[in-house]
């Protein structure tokens, strides 16, 4: 990973948009700080499209899309999305009804019974595709127990995705990169291959791994180092500070270099 201060105008020149993770990237343990929120507006001011990409539930992004200066948001690690139309209205992008979600809820109940240091998350009622177990938000589950839960789930044909806060269980086999490229293609008419060069990604953890590998220009906030062992490819640049402060630093660097390009 290169220090953020090595970012050059030539790195930023091809970019038209920024895709960003929420938990522990834009947000500080779930809290939105003023510098991080303001950074979104600074990115919009120089013309970047903004796409949030999170493992959080669809119900959350529908609300956040009304409040934040974003063009689209992706939820449940790529399974569902919301698009902002030119008139400001929102269009949902929902998968087919998840008929087997009851099976996931049953599996989650069995897992937290077997591993009592974990618990079912409180936001499952707002989800439409996956089911989540809290492993790092309000409790701390040892890494070996998380790995054991993943093995049990995979043995039952269930896909798992681990973020800095949650273990996701799903039959949809999603990832943020595929979800982002799909919405970019559908909403903005972008070629899917070109989109990987024209959009930057900012993240911090294991469920960002697919996006770090898929997009040419990638950034990590400083706390990405804690997830280095779970990433097959590290982000290209890293901020000196973690979470929201690091996000604001990355945004400032992108804005500065974008203005240099546009002079």
CATH of the domain at 253: 3.40.50.1000
> Is the domain of 7 the same as that of 83?
yes
* Boundary residue ending a domain (147, 170, 193): 170
| Statement to judge: residues 87 and 191 lie in one domain | yes
Cα angle for residues 127, 210, 259 (degrees, 5° grid): 100
The whole domain housing 124 covers 101-170
pLDDT band at 164 (very low <50, low <70, confident <90, very high): confident
Among 235, 239, 236, smallest CA distance to 253 is for 239
Residue 88 pLDDT exceeds 90: no
CATH code for the domain in which residue 139 is found: 3.90.1070.10
- Across 1-16, average pLDDT: 96
- Within a 13 Å sphere around the CA of 86, how many CA atoms are in the beta-carbon half? 2
Same domain flag for 79 and 183? yes
Please indicate, yes or no, whether residues 181 and 87 belong to a single structural domain of this protein: yes
User: Do 192 and 257 sit in the same domain of this protein?
Assistant: yes
**C-beta separation of 212 from 221 below 8 A:** no
pTM of the model: 0.87
Cα separation, 93 vs 188, whole angstroms: 14
Cross-strand bridge partners of residue 167:
133, 162
| Angle at the Cα of 180 from the Cα atoms of 208 and 247, rounded to 5 degrees | 50
The reply to whether 84 and 53 lie within a common domain is yes
Do 64 and 164 belong to one domain?
no
Same domain, yes or no, for 62 and 119? no
Residues 62 and 130 in one domain: no
Strand partners, 170: 159
Give pLDDT tens digits for 207-228: 899 999 999 999 999 999 999 8
- Report which of 18, 50, 35, 21 is spatially closest to residue 241, judged by C-alpha positions: 35
**C-alpha distances in Å from residue 5, one per residue of 8, 232, 233, 238:** 8, 24, 20, 9
Residue 219: name the closest of 204, 207, 235 by CA: 235
Please tell me the distance from the alpha carbon of residue 48 to that of residue 54, in angstroms, as a whole number: 19
Three-state secondary-structure class, residue 92? strand
> Greater confidence, 143 or 88?
143
Task: Give which of 263, 241, 257, 244 is closest to 39, Cα–Cα.
Answer: 244
pLDDT value at residue 96: 65
pLDDT in tens, 94-150: 876 467 888 999 999 999 999 999 999 999 999 988 999 999 999 999 999 999 999
**Residue 12 — very low, low, confident or very high, per pLDDT cuts 50/70/90?**
very high
Which residue would you say has higher pLDDT here, 201 or 175? 201
Domain termination site, one of 170, 196, 227: 170
- What is the torsional sign of CA 22, 210, 49, 220? positive
Domain finish residue from 170, 199, 218: 170
Q: Specify the DSSP element, H or E, that contains 18.
A: strand 17-20
Structurally, the chain folds into a number of domains equal to: 2
Using CA atoms, how far residue 155 sits from 148, 152, 201, in Å, is 11, 5, 32
**Is there a contact between 218 and 197 (Cβ–Cβ < 8 Å)?**
no
The b/e string for 84-122 (b: 16+ C-beta within 10 A; e otherwise) is beeeeeeeebeeeebeebebbeebbeebbeebeebbebe
Percent of the chain with pLDDT over 70: 98
Residues 6+ apart with CB under 8 A from 76: 55, 56, 57, 58, 127, 128, 129, 130, 168, 170, 172, 174
Looking at the fold, whether 220 and 179 belong to one and the same domain comes out as yes
Q: Identify the residue with better confidence: 88 or 53.
A: 53
Residues 114 and 240 in one domain: no
Q: Are residues 18 and 89 in the same domain?
A: yes
């Amino acid at each position: 990973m290169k220090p953020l201060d090595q970012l050059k105008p030539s790195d930023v020149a091809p970019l038209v948009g920024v895709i960003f993770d929420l938990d522990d990237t834009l947000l500080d343990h779930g809290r939105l700080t003023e510098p991080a929120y303001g950074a979104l507006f600074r990115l919009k001011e120089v013309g970047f499209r903004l796409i949030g990409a999170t493992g959080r539930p669809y119900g959350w992004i529908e609300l956040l899309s009304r409040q934040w200066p974003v063009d689209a948001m992706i939820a449940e690690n790529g399974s569902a999305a919301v698009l902002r139309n030119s008139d400001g209205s929102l269009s949902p992008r929902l998968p087919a009804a998840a008929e087997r979600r009851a099976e996931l809820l049953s599996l989650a109940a069995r897992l937290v019974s077997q591993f009592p240091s974990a618990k079912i998350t409180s936001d499952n009622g707002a989800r439409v595709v996956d089911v989540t177990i809290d492993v790092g938000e309000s409790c701390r589950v040892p890494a070996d127990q998380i790995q054991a839960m993943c093995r049990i789930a995979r043995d039952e044909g269930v896909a798992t995705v681990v973020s800095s806060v949650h273990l996701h269980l799903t039959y949809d086999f999603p990832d943020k990169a595929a979800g982002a490229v799909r919405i970019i293609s559908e909403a903005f008419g972008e070629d899917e291959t070109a989109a990987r060069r024209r959009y930057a990604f900012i993240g911090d953890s294991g469920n960002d791994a697919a996006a770090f590998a898929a997009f040419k220009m990638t950034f990590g906030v400083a706390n990405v180092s804690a997830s280095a062992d779970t990433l097959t490819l590290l982000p290209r640049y890293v901020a000196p500070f973690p979470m929201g402060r690091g996000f604001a630093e990355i945004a400032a660097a992108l804005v500065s270099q974008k203005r240099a390009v546009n002079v």
